[in-house]
Structure 1
């Protein structure tokens, strides 16, 4: 392991694209990807597609969110988009479970702490609207693509910032630390509208949860692991109203 690598990166290699493995993206290409993702966030926040049935509108928006940046990345990397993914192995299951449990502890802990100091903990709009099994399944199906896009809107800016810092001569470790902190804060900020601008909750929960997922990515260099972990974590919390409803109903 090279001196400029962290210990947890053992056997995971280097990050894709930012340093030329297997294909180096230019700063202009990185900026294009980041700007496209931010433009998509604005479109998602403002477009309603009210002329379509809700399920179809949601599906079309999810396909648009994932398809456009993935298509651009496919083009920019000369079709070497596979470097973003690694095959999942059975031993990855334990890693995913560990990180999901860690995120659950932090998520519940931050909620309890905020309530103890008198802060409101209003949740995600999508989570608040979960009513019954059908509602939960609808949210879960939406999350399958939307949470993958959330991984893209976090990890692509992270790699882009690392590429920019590398071009400026900043060491690899410092680049990783700075990029992880900045993009985690950006990720939290993008969640503010969904959480009714609840700054304390977003910056004591969402930002720290994103940091955990970024550490998992640092360790594995595999977007599949961060995506599955993210999906399972959100699925657990969105299921809580359904579970509590069943418990208190009986």
Structure 2
């Protein structure tokens, strides 16, 4: 009796853990997409990016930022919901304390990296400032607050713009190119970072080196929370904190 009770207690003391989280779609979880559905999803990413870059919205800067950001994030997420039900919930999960701490740490690390890499690139080839910094510096107090709030949908859109192509390339690498999971993931990170850098070319006066080296490096760093946690909320949080810190500094310094 004593031995059985001891074993029973030991059994109850050992916590059971579920399977580690993984990236969705590439292995058919929660659904397996056909080539046509992948094409539709990637087309929605392109349309969303075009809306972010080209749609003109009259009114204050924060309103334009909020509306474009909503389209930027909303179009591909709605498409993802239609072609791959259940995947949006896999991408965006509740932010747990460890993931939150990781997001804060990555945001701080990226601010430092952006300053250092930006300074180096500025010496080598020169850099262009983000026009939003000047806009914020010239705004009144309420408009500043609204602009910072309007950044949230915009930055969520940037995370979606990064991760959906990443998942597509990961799937392509493993299913078509027959690469290993690690090689496919490295390829996916590089491609998504370059796409993200290209998205920022109009913002930075088509300065290719600045976008590839500064923005591309920042993109890889800000992607770390998602790669670790498989939770896009963590990467989005890091991205928001990063941009708030950088543009907040610009606003304070004028």
Shorter-chain TM-score range: 0.7 to 0.9
Question: 2:66–2:154: 8 Å Cα contact kept in structure 1?
Answer: no
Task: Give, in angstroms, the shift of residue 124 of structure 1.
Answer: 1.7
Tell me, which stretches of 5 or more residues in structure 1 are unaligned? 1-10, 246-250
Match of residue 209 from structure 1: 218
In structure 1, C-alpha distance between the alignment counterparts of 2:78 and 2:22, rounded to whole Å: 23
TM-score (norm 1): 0.85
Match of residue 190 from structure 2: 181
Query: Following superposition of structure 1 onto structure 2, how do residues 196-235 of structure 1 map, counting pairs within 5 Å?
Result: 196-235=205-244
Query: Following superposition of structure 1 onto structure 2, how do residues 1-250 of structure 1 map, counting pairs within 5 Å?
Result: 12-50=20-58, 55-117=62-124, 119-131=125-137, 132=139, 133-168=141-176, 169-245=178-254
Identify which of structures 1 and 2 has the higher relative contact order when contacts are C-alpha pairs closer than 8 Å and 6+ apart.
1
Deviates more, 1:76-85 or 1:164-173: 76-85
Match of residue 8 from structure 2: none
Task: Give, in angstroms, the shift of residue 214 of structure 1.
Answer: 2.4
Q: Deviations over 1:91-117 (max 9, x none)?
A: 223211211121011100012212333
- Structure with larger Rg: 2
TM-score (norm 2): 0.84
Q: Deviations over 1:136-178 (max 9, x none)?
A: 3232122110100000110000001111222112211110011
CA RMSD of aligned residues (A): 2.0
In structure 1, C-alpha distance between the alignment counterparts of 2:184 and 2:76, rounded to whole Å: 23
Tell me, which stretches of 5 or more residues in structure 2 are unaligned? 1-18
**SS class of match (2:136):** coil
Size of the alignment, in residue pairs? 233
